[in-house]
Amino acid sequence: MAELAGRTALITGAGSGIGLGIAQAYADEGASVFLADIDSARLEAAVAAARGRGAQASGITADVGDLASVQAMAAAATEALGRIDVVCNNAGILDDLMPAADTTDALWRRVMGINLDGAFYVCRAVLPDMVARGAGIIINTVSISGSRGSRGGFAYTVSKHGLLGLTRSIAVTYGEYGIRCNAISPGSVETNISTGDNWPPIGRTLREKGLSTRPTRAKPNDIAPVAVFLASDRARYVNGHDLVADAGWTVY
């Protein structure tokens, strides 16, 4: 029996990397998926790939950092799926490993806007229906940068710490309404996320120190099974958890 049969899921940043891996795994496990990405070409390919795996799939080009775009996305997902059982707040960007003193207002706002405001906008849009139904599952792609100071630049690290706080607050506040909210924290995954190539000396030192202890990088399909578990009934008693999937990088 497919693990997510009959379940519906909205996945952001589903056109590439970890989000694409989750979309494919959910499709394989029988879920109906609604995919969102800012990149239309990637989105179209991801929807076609999910359909090719036998899933009911559709999607929308959306920018999670833009409130109106998120509201349109949530409405379209509800329309297409009937209801949203699972939300994966996965869209995110890196920060070129910039330290605080080198972080421009524009970089700060861009990283916060997508990594943190985006998840907030999505949660606020979907929670009322979940509360009304007494059920819902929210899964946020955080990072080991969400609990460590050394795995990203300044804005990325702060945004991911914030996303972990968002996860815990929603878990505690909405748990009694049948809603579970958990984080997945990957270590290093081979994806299209850009690390940039313009690191100032402080960022470079940080990166080299961190990389010296890094285990073999994951592929997106090493992370996707974690998202399947958290979306399944096997995780029914798991709420507010930060599930680290980093091959032991943070315990080195």
12 binds ligand NAD (CB under 6 A): yes
203 binds ligand NAD (CB under 6 A): no
- Restricted to residues 169-188, the positions that interact with ligand NAD (CB under 6 A) are 186, 188
Can you tell me whether residue 32 is helix, strand or coil?
strand
Residue number with CB closer to ligand NAD (160 or 180): 160
Q: Which of 121, 156, 177, 237 is catalytic?
A: 156
22 binds ligand NAD (CB under 6 A): no
Residue number with CB closer to ligand NAD (133 or 219): 219
Quote the CA–CA distance of 206 and 149 in Å, as a whole number. Answer: 10
User: In angstroms, what is the minimal distance from the CB of 251 to ligand NAD?
Assistant: 16
Cα Rg of the chain, angstroms? 17
For the beta sheet containing 136-141, the strands, ordered from the edge strand earlier in sequence to the opposite edge, are 57-61, 32-37, 8-12, 86-89, 136-141, 179-186, 242-245
User: In angstroms, what is the minimal distance from the CB of 203 to ligand NAD?
Assistant: 16
Cα-based angle 174, 18, 191 (whole degrees, multiple of 5): 145
Assess contact for 10 and 81: CB atoms under 8 A.
Answer: yes
189 binds ligand NAD (CB under 6 A): yes
- 103, 129, 181, 221, 249 from 186: Cα distances, Å: 24, 29, 17, 12, 10
User: In angstroms, what is the minimal distance from the CB of 44 to ligand NAD?
Assistant: 12
| Secondary structure (DSSP) of 87-139 | EEE------TT--GGG--HHHHHHHHIIIIIHHHHHHHHHHHHHHHHT-EEEE
Assess contact for 61 and 38: CB atoms under 8 A.
Answer: yes
Catalytic (active site) residue 26: no
**Residue from the set 77, 93, 116, 166 that interacts with ligand NAD by CB under 6 A:** 93
User: In angstroms, what is the minimal distance from the CB of 193 to ligand NAD?
Assistant: 3
- Restricted to residues 204-243, the positions that interact with ligand NAD (CB under 6 A) are none
37 binds ligand NAD (CB under 6 A): yes
How many residues line the site for ligand NAD (CB under 6 A)? 28
Residue number with CB closer to ligand NAD (134 or 150): 150
Quote the CA–CA distance of 22 and 236 in Å, as a whole number. Answer: 19
User: In angstroms, what is the minimal distance from the CB of 113 to ligand NAD?
Assistant: 8
Quote the CA–CA distance of 156 and 3 in Å, as a whole number. Answer: 33
Can you tell me whether residue 171 is helix, strand or coil?
helix
13 binds ligand NAD (CB under 6 A): yes
- Restricted to residues 109-148, the positions that interact with ligand NAD (CB under 6 A) are 114, 141, 143
| List of residues contacting ligand NAD (CB under 6 A) | 12-13, 15-19, 37-39, 42, 62-65, 90-93, 114, 141, 143, 186, 188-189, 191-193
Mind telling me the catalytic residues? 156
